[in-house]
Amino acid sequence: MSSDATGTLTGAEERKEKVPSPHLSHLVILTSGSSLYGLAERVVATESLVFLAEQFEFLQPHLDAVMPPAKKPFLQQFYSQTVSTASELRKPIYWIVAAKAIDYEQMLLLMANVKWDVKEIMSQHNIYVDSLLKEFEQFNGKLNEVSRRVRIPLPVSNILWEHCIRLANRTLVEGYANVKKCSNEGRALMQLDFQQFLMKLEKLTDIRPIPDKEFVETYIKAYYLTENDMERWIKEHREYSTKQLNNLVSVCLGSHINKKARQKLLAAIDDTDRPKR
C-alpha cells in the first residue's frame, strides 16, 4: 500500500471519529412570530440538554469512583465547565424570543409623540401604555398556544417573562431619556403611566418582584433631586447610560439650575464609567 493510500485511510478514519457539524432541520422555522420564533423547538432542544446535565450530576459519584486518578482532573473540568453551565444556556437561547415577541421600537415611537411639558396634572395615562400591555397580552396568548404543543417548564416561562419585562422597562427609560421638554406635571404623568403598566402587568404574570421596576422608578424620581443630590446620584447610579443621565441634567434639571452647575454635572457624568448608549 502506498503512502498516499495510507494517508487517505487515516484521513477517512479521522473524519469518522469527529462529531458531524450540527444543522437545523428545514422544518424548524425560527423567524415566525406566530410560533414565538420556534419556541417549541427551542424548549425541546434546551430542556433536553438541561435534562442530560441533570443525569450527569446523578452519575458524578459513580464516574468519580471508576475514573483513574490521572484522569480525574479532566472529569472535574468537564463538570465545572460543561455540565454546570447547561442550565445557564436558557437565558441567551430564550432571550431572542423575548427580544422579538414585543415591539419595543413601536413603543419608543409612541412615546416620542407624547407631550411631556404639560401644565396640569393628568388623570389619564398615555396610549403607549395600552399598546405595550396589548403586546404582553398577545405574548401571553401565544405562550399558551405553544404550551399546547410542548409543555413549557416553569423556569422557562419565568425566564421568558423576566426577559420581556426587563426589555420593556429599559425601553421605557430610554423613551423618557428621549424627551426634549418636560415639566413637573409631565414627570408626574410618567409615574402615572408606569403605575398603570405595573398594575395591569401584575395581572398577567406571577413573577414577583417585577424585574427592573426600580430601574424605571428611580430614573423618574431623579427629576426632583437638587443639584447637590444629583451629583452624588450620578456617581452612585452607574446602571444608566451617559445619554440617559445627560437628559436628566439638560432637560429635567436644565430649567432650575444655572449653566455652570449644569456643566459641572455633565462633567461628573463623563468622569464615571457607564454604558455608552
What is the DSSP secondary structure assignment for residue 84, as one 8-state letter? G
Distance, CA of 74 to CA of 54 (rounded, Å)? 19
| Average confidence score pLDDT of the chain | 86
The pTM for the full model equals 0.82
- Among all chains, which residue has been given the C-alpha cell 437565558? 91
Do residues 43 and 150 touch, judged by C-beta distance below 8 A?
Answer: yes
pLDDT tens column, 134-189: 999 999 999 999 999 999 999 999 999 999 999 999 999 999 999 988 888 888 99
pLDDT tens column, 60-94: 898 888 888 888 889 888 888 889 899 999 999 99
Sign of CA pseudo-dihedral 240, 246, 247, 250: positive
Burial class (CB in 10 A: 0-12, 13-18, 19+), 264: middle
The yes-or-no verdict on residue 266 having pLDDT over 70 is yes
Tell me the pLDDT band of 1, cut-offs 50, 70 and 90.
Answer: very low
Tell me the pLDDT band of 272, cut-offs 50, 70 and 90.
Answer: low
pLDDT tens column, 175-194: 999 998 888 888 899 999 99
